[in-house]
Structure formats: C-alpha cells, structure tokens
C-alpha cells in the first residue's frame, strides 16, 4: 500500500517541484531549489551520506531506490511502529493526535519527513532539548517503523481561529508576490497534505502554536544548529528563506488556517 501511494504521488512531486521553481526569485536560491526539486522527485538519490552517516549505503545502480536507508517504507512496518510508539504517545497523543498545542501532531504526516526529522533530532542538527534525548535512543529500524506507523494514522479534528483564517487562507493559496513569498499550497498541497514522496510535511490539522513556533524558529535559525544545516537537511533551505519574509501577523494567520485544514 505504501508503495502504491508513493508511485501515485510522483506526478504531484514533479508538479510541486516545478511550481516551487517557478516561484523562486534570486538565482542563488533558484539553484538551491533546483537541487531540492531533484531531491523531491527522487528522494532515494538525495545524498544519504548527508543525512545518514552511519550505514553509508550509497545507492548504486544495483541498489534500487527502495533499499536506501532514507526510505522508511523499505524497512519499517506499521505493526512494529505501533508498539514502539507507546513512549511517544505520552506527548504526541494516541495515534499521533496530540492534545497539547506545543506538541506536533504526527498522524498522517509524511513518513519520509518523519524519518528525516528523527535523524536530525538524533544527530542534534534539529535543536530541541525534549526530542534530542528521545531520538538518541532510536535505531534506524525504530525510525523506519515509527515513521510508517505515524503516516498510516488518521489526523483528527482541530478548528481554525475564525478571526484569522481568511487572511491565512489567502497567503496559503496565493502567497504574496510583492514580498517574494511563494504560495504555501505549491509545496504543502491544496488540503495541507504535503508531498509524501518529496518529504514535504503535511500541515493540515497541525497545532497552530507549534506551527507559529516552527516558522519563528526557521526565521531566527533556531530550528537547526551547526554549520552544515543545508547539507544535513537540503529541504530546510526552502523554509529558512521563506519564513524570514513572513510578518508575525502572516505567521499567526496562516497557522490558524492550517490548524483548521483537512
Ligand atoms: C516529552 C514529550 C515528547 C515525547 C515523549 C516525544 N516527543 Fe516528539 N516532539 C515533542 C516536542 C515538544 C516536539 C517539537 C519540537 C520543536 O519545537 O521543534 C516534538 C517533535 C517531534 C517530531 C517533529 C514533528 C514535525 O512536524 O516536525 C517528530 C517526528 C517526533 N517528535 C517524533 C517523536 C517520536 C517518534 C517519539 C517517541 C520515540 C516522540 N516524538 C516522543 C515532544 C515529545
Ligand atoms: C518550495 C516549497 C515550499 C513552500 C513554497 C513552502 N514550504 Fe513550508 N516546508 C517545505 C519543506 C521542504 C519543509 C520541511 C523543511 C525542513 O526539512 O525543515 C517545510 C516545512 C514547513 C513547516 C514545518 C512543519 C513541521 O511539521 O515542523 C511549516 C510550519 C511550513 N513549512 C509552513 C509553510 C508556510 C506557512 C508556507 C507559505 C508561506 C510554506 N511553508 C511554503 C516546503 C515549502
């Protein structure tokens, strides 16, 4: 089933990458995004050495995409993930539907994105004092199992704040050309499901408090640490650039909007 979804999403990945490219402004950023677009279309080719130093299984012609350590579908099972998720549900909620606004929802999140983020927590590149020690104890197998388990869960009901979501919806769907802000929809999708193959995260029903914190953390640089952030996580380039252009009002509005998305 997971394989079917991935193949089915490929066209979408190409489309999102193309739209993302079209929206890019400066040549330097365009080049970065071109790399990202390539990664998005073929995540297996996205330099496993950068994000995953340990197994060092550089993909060869003989090793097809499905066997790279970055691909949780090739290694993980939902059943094993369900057991391992017991410790996580204390914060992320039963089935990944967290009830605390500071703890992100993981239900229905892209498994590729989850696996990537758990590796980034584990290596300390994603700076979070709560998640780092938790991720430090996870093996690659644990990460794959947890990632496919959470992607298989169904996200459930939060609402948008009625005062803000309309402005948030405009920004999400159209961006703001005058300020070089691309439309979020290009990468996060019309209903906020993200892009499963590219590992672009789903935002739908995400806790708005958490979303505000992440956008501020991208803008300030606090989400990731180290000098090699963009090689450890090539996908980070996009949000590190975009978030700096958002005002506090933009962030509040769009966070409210995505919280109500399904
Ligand atoms: C004590 C509470 C707590 C526990 C237990 C916990 N987490 Fe987290 N988790 C957090 C917090 C808080 C964040 C947000 C960190 C930030 O603000 O950057 C987070 C973020 C994450 C993210 C990033 C989500 C995103 O959208 O980027 C993933 C993936 C994740 N946790 C997975 C797990 C897994 C898997 C486990 C179990 C092994 C786990 N967490 C256990 C509190 C917890
Ligand atoms: C060019 C593609 C692209 C566009 C356009 C884009 N994003 Fe993102 N977004 C990403 C990618 C890729 C990530 C994951 C980055 C990483 O690895 O840290 C991400 C991550 C995020 C996160 C963190 C999610 C989490 O679970 O922690 C938020 C919040 C977010 N984006 C909001 C937005 C908003 C709001 C907009 C529009 C103003 C937007 N994005 C536009 C590609 C994009």
Q: What is the pLDDT of residues 121-146, one digit of tens each?
A: 999 999 999 999 999 999 999 999 99
Alpha helix locations (H) across 194-247? 208-220, 229-232, 236-243
Residue nearest ligand 1's atom 8 by CA: 131
**3-state secondary structure at position 200:** strand
Alpha helix locations (H) across the chain? 2-23, 27-41, 48-51, 72-75, 78-84, 89-92, 111-123, 131-136, 140-151, 165-174, 185-188, 208-220, 229-232, 236-243, 248-260
Ligand 1 test: best mutation among 91, 101, 223, 225, most atoms within 8 Å of CB? 91
Domains in the chain: boundaries: 2-9+50-151
pTM for this structure? Answer: 0.82
Express each pLDDT in 202-253 by its tens digit.
999 999 999 999 999 999 999 999 888 888 898 999 999 999 999 999 999 9
On the question of pLDDT at 48 being above 50, the answer is: no
**3-state secondary structure at position 67:** helix
Residue 69: which pLDDT band, with cuts at 50, 70 and 90?
A: low
Which protein residues are within 6 Å of ligand 1, measured from CB? 87-88, 90-92, 102-104, 106, 114, 117-118, 128, 130-131, 134, 146, 201, 213
Residue nearest ligand 2's atom 36 by CA: 184
Q: What is the fold, at CATH topology level, of the domain defined by 2-9+50-151?
A: Cytochrome Bc1 Complex; Chain D, domain 2 (1.10.760)
Of all ligands present, the nearest one to the C-alpha of 239 is: 2
d(CA 5, CA 132): 30
Of all ligands present, the nearest one to the C-alpha of 212 is: 2
On the question of pLDDT at 108 being above 80, the answer is: yes
* Residue listed under structure tokens 């640490």: 225
């Amino acid at each position: 089933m997971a394989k079917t979804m991935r193949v089915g999403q490929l066209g979408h990945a190409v489309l999102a990458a193309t739209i993302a490219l079209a929206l890019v402004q400066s040549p330097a950023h365009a080049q970065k995004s071109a790399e990202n677009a390539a990664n998005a279309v073929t995540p297996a080719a996205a330099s496993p050495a950068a994000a995953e130093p340990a197994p060092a299984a550089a993909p060869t012609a003989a090793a097809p995409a499905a066997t790279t350590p970055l691909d949780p579908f090739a290694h993980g099972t939902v059943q094993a993930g369900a057991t391992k998720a017991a410790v996580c549900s204390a914060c992320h909620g039963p089935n990944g539907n967290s009830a605390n606004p500071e703890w992100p929802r993981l239900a229905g999140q892209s498994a590729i994105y989850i696996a990537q983020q758990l590796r980034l927590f584990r290596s300390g590149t994603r700076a979070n004092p709560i998640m780092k020690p938790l991720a430090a104890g996870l093996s690659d197998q644990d990460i794959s199992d947890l990632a496919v388990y959470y992607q298989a869960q169904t996200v459930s009901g939060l609402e948008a704040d009625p005062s803000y979501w309309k402005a948030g919806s405009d920004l999400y769907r159209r961006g703001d050309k005058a300020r070089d802000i691309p439309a979020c929809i290009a990468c996060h999708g019309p209903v906020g499901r993200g892009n499963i193959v590219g590992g672009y995260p789903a935002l739908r029903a995400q806790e708005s408090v958490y979303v505000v914190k992440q956008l501020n953390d991208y803008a300030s640089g606090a989400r990731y640490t180290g000098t090699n952030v963009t090689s450890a996580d090539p996908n980070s380039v996009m949000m590190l650039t975009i978030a700096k252009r958002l005002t506090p009002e933009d962030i509040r509005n769009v966070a409210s909007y995505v919280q109500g998305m399904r």
